[in-house]
């Protein structure tokens, strides 16, 4: 969730949210994208969401964050290589992660639109 989380910290302003709060939301967004890609099932999405809610952590980004803000900030993330954003996503059971640039960009757009009002 750090890539999405760092975008929140940058876009919303450092210090507005705790780092862990931003990463929690980023984790929910990464899990959402993993599900959209068909890499994990709905039960895992619900489990992660429930764990973070039980910990009283936010699960949606600030309303001021837009799709374009996420895209422009993530485009300069340290995980960008050769102009392509690499993400850490779940693939399979909880704990199985992949560091990849091999994902459907439309699925990323769908995730961003699902979490942003504009």
Mark out the alpha helices in 1-118 (DSSP H runs). 2-12, 19-36, 42-54, 67-74, 105-115
| Predicted TM-score (pTM) of this structure | 0.92
Question: How do the domains of the chain map onto residue ranges?
Answer: 2-115
Domain 2-115: state its class. mainly alpha
pLDDT in tens, 66-94: 999 999 999 887 888 888 899 999 998 87
CA distance 31 to 89: 7
pLDDT in tens, 12-42: 888 889 999 999 999 999 999 999 999 999 9
> Band of the pLDDT at 62, cuts 50, 70, 90?
very high
């Amino acid at each position: 969730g750090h890539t999405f989380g760092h975008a929140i910290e940058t876009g919303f302003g450092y210090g507005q949210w705790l780092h862990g709060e931003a990463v929690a939301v980023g984790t929910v967004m990464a899990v959402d994208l993993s599900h959209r890609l068909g890499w994990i099932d709905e039960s895992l999405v619900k489990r992660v969401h429930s764990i973070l809610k039980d910990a009283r952590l936010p699960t949606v980004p600030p309303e001021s964050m837009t799709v374009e803000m996420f895209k422009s900030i993530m485009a300069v993330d340290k995980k960008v290589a050769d102009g392509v954003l690499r993400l850490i996503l779940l693939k399979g059971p909880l704990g199985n992660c992949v560091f990849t640039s091999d994902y459907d960009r439309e699925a990323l757009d769908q995730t961003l639109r699902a979490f942003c009002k504009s």
